[in-house]
Chain A
Amino acid sequence: MRVVVIGAGVVGLSTALCIHERYHSVLPLLDVKVYADRFTPFTNSDVAAGLCQAYLSDPSNPQEVHWNRQTFDYLLSHIHSPNAANMGLALISGYNLFREAFPDPSWKDTVLGFRKLTGRELDMFPDYSYGWFNTSLIVEGRRYLPWLTERLTERGVKFFHRKVESFEEVARDGADVIVNCTGVCAGALQPDPLLKPGRGQIIKVDAPWMKHFILTHDPEKGIYQSPYIIPGMQAVTLGGIFQLGNWSEVNNIQDHKTIWEGCCRLEPTLKDAKIVAEFTGLRPVRPQIRLERERLHFGSFNTEVIHNYGHGGYGLTIHWGCAMEATKLFGKILEERKLLRMPPPHL
């Protein structure tokens, strides 16, 4: 059983790992390869701040709520490990700020210690009059992806630097199952009008006195278009840019100013912070994640494709739940082909 995962961002690597972990012992001839044209630290997952927080409004697919929760619980279970920092995992608390009262999110019981902000806390943020405080997790791509890569390498999964032009070429090479984790570029392999880039730009600064995330929300502007400050494992990410349909991967000076001014207004102490880097990433935006099977026919043979792309700005937040779902779909393929000698254990 030859599996090719296309894409080495958080979705590709975690799906490869989940499949291998689940089925390696019952399928001795399982061979998993990863093909990608970009690896860490050049993927979108490396640009993302890595705060585990889903969108404020309910997703159109209710399964996504479940996948978010599964991811949070999975990462939380690793927080107590001595390896947590190597994985890029840390607990972080912080503030979600609004200009007026806002309904509680669906994930309020997933995160820890969710509560409303008190008056004194809101006094710190004069532009905002309502908000939440909770403890969540950071999963930083720049550490997590190398960690996933190490786990996969230990398991004998091989990586290939390759720009895939079509599913057919991968099928003709001998892949039985293709796992499509190509993120924002999925449209190049198969047109998808629902998938669009949501360009983001972030500034990384040295501001080690910042221990909390601060996310602001402006219903007029939409998600990620209001300033946010997210401390990471070492540096602090400043952001607030979301441009739908913009494919430019180059840092833009106007966006830099928007981020800098917005974040300094929110947190005056940042004026002295040293800028260490600036990055642009393209969020793979889609009305809902495409996580489904597709059987493709190439002349005389068929190939199973499991699509797992379109995670928008919440890929790190939801990755493990999606990886487990993709693994379930893989299990169904194995059942149909009667490749399993015994029923698979419950996921």
Chain B
Amino acid sequence: TRPTTHWETSVGARAFCGLQDRFLTDRPMDPVRIAVVGAGVVGLSTALCVSKLVPGCSITVLSDKFSPDTTSDVAAGMLIPHVDAETPIAKQKQWFRETFDHLFAIANSAEAEDAGVHLVSGWQIFRSVPTEEVPFWADVVLGFRKMTEAELKKFPQHVFGHAFTTLKCESPTYLPWLEKRLKGSGVPILTRRIGDFWELHPSFDIVINCSGLGSRQLAGDSKLFPVRGQVLRVQAPWVKHFIRDGNGLTYIYPGIANVILGGTRQKGDWNLSPDAEMSRDIFSRCCALEPSLRGACHIREKVGLRPFRPGLRLQTELLAQDGRRLPVVHHYGHGSGGISVHWGTALEAARLVGECVRALRSPKSKL
């Protein structure tokens, strides 16, 4: 009998149609047991996508860190894509669009506050005219246009800019909201530190590896490295617009409970302790763009290590050892752009998981 499934989002359904046909079977199925390692935005959204889109599975999330202690929690969560040099632009645009559309629907629903997602307008400004005046994602965000001369007067050091409306997805709220939805779907969420994928065998049939920077050890991926980012969280509720310098180093992102000021980009730096000198520098650079920030109070410092890789790793690896087999769907290495593309890449990971499940169930399977 064809299993029924409940499509959570129309985006997911569109993305997933076709796979549904592959689950025709005449015999009842034992659920395929899937372990999701990692509970940042990538782990939780992947678990949710798989739970909604891949029938016949039982999912468990395992992580040593949860919100508010994940890397995602430090990120401002602004939906402004970071270009990944390895992935084709069309793919990056697809992932960004899927994420934007998904979050836009949440922002316009009554759940917006519970999910920590809201619209914010603002400006991306440049000290010299960029070679690409219109970025690939211009038609994904809302109302994208070039800044007028009058608008640029606010930024005397800058000569060009983009004005648009985008979304902010705040992990300290979004992640608990995802966790709640997972628990509501019967997905256990366990605190556990995994040192080796084989620890999950034979309890689980498939592993989805969303361990971010942890994959350096867990997956032995030496291509993965941290790019340290320090930010300030301040109280300045009168700031209603985001301001981002085109170089990406200086930004002001107003959120629900605070404004995030950033930032830094330190390649290969693992230090999670805030640096006071850097905080002063961040504050000073941001005040240059928005002088009223001088009146900001309750300044807190945070550090996050962006999980950088030359290209996102989104692929299935079949681990084999002593006659045992364990398919691992890797889903990590999002660098600066995790939140901007998380839903799109989670949908893709769910597709890969669906293929693994199909392969496991296939009577010809030698797994």
Partner of A82, one of B110, B165, B292: B292
Partner of A113, one of B147, B239, B240, B295: B147
A112/B148 in contact, CB under 8 A:
yes
Nearest B residue to A117 via CB reads B143
B292/A115 in contact, CB under 8 A:
no
Known: A79-B154, A211-B120. A86 touches B295 (CB 8 A): yes
Known: A81-B291, A211-B121. A233 touches B112 (CB 8 A): no
Find chain B residues with CB under 8 A from A272 CB.
Answer: 110, 113-114
B143/A271 in contact, CB under 8 A:
no
Report the Cα distance A77→B229, complex, angstroms. Answer: 34
A85/B292 in contact, CB under 8 A:
yes
CB within 8 Å: A-B pair count: 96
> Total interface residues on A, using CB and 8 Å?
37
8 Å CB interface, B222-259 against A: 236-241, 254, 256-257
A84/B291 in contact, CB under 8 A:
yes
Partner of B151, one of A81, A135, A208: A135
Find chain B residues with CB under 8 A from A271 CB.
Answer: 110
8 Å CB interface, A205-238 against B: 207-212, 231, 233-234
B150 to chain A, nearest CB (A): 6
A209/B118 in contact, CB under 8 A:
yes
User: Mostly helix, strand, loop or mixed at chain B's interface?
Assistant: mixed
Known: A85-B236, A211-B121, A211-B240. A112 touches B150 (CB 8 A): yes
Does A167 sit at the interface, judged by CB under 8 A? no
A125 to chain B, nearest CB (A): 9
A269/B113 in contact, CB under 8 A:
yes
Partner of A90, one of B114, B145, B151, B238: B238
Known: A124-B108, A209-B113, A211-B121. A113 touches B151 (CB 8 A): yes
8 Å CB interface, B72-109 against A: 108-109
A91 to chain B, nearest CB (A): 6
Nearest A residue to B147 via CB reads A113
B237/A212 in contact, CB under 8 A:
no
Find chain B residues with CB under 8 A from A212 CB.
Answer: 119, 121, 240
Find chain B residues with CB under 8 A from A210 CB.
Answer: 118
> Total interface residues on B, using CB and 8 Å?
34
A234/B120 in contact, CB under 8 A:
no
Report the Cα distance A1→B118, complex, angstroms. Answer: 55
Partner of A211, one of B118, B142, B151: B118
Find the residue from A80, A115, A118, A269 having the highest chain B CB count within 10 A.
Answer: A269
Does A191 sit at the interface, judged by CB under 8 A? no
8 Å CB interface, A113-140 against B: 113, 115, 117-118, 120-121, 124, 133, 135, 138
Find chain A residues with CB under 8 A from B292 CB.
Answer: 79, 81-85, 89-90
Find chain A residues with CB under 8 A from B150 CB.
Answer: 112-113
Known: A93-B240, A208-B256, A209-B256. A121 touches B143 (CB 8 A): yes
Does B48 sit at the interface, judged by CB under 8 A? no
A143 to chain B, nearest CB (A): 9
Q: Which residues of B contact A (CB under 8 A)?
A: 108-110, 112-114, 118-121, 142-143, 145, 147-148, 150-151, 154, 163, 165, 236-241, 254, 256-257, 287, 291-292, 294-295
Q: Which residues of A contact B (CB under 8 A)?
A: 79-86, 89-93, 112-113, 115, 117-118, 120-121, 124, 133, 135, 138, 207-212, 231, 233-234, 268-269, 271-272
3 A-B pairs with least C-beta separation = A209-B118, A82-B294, A90-B238
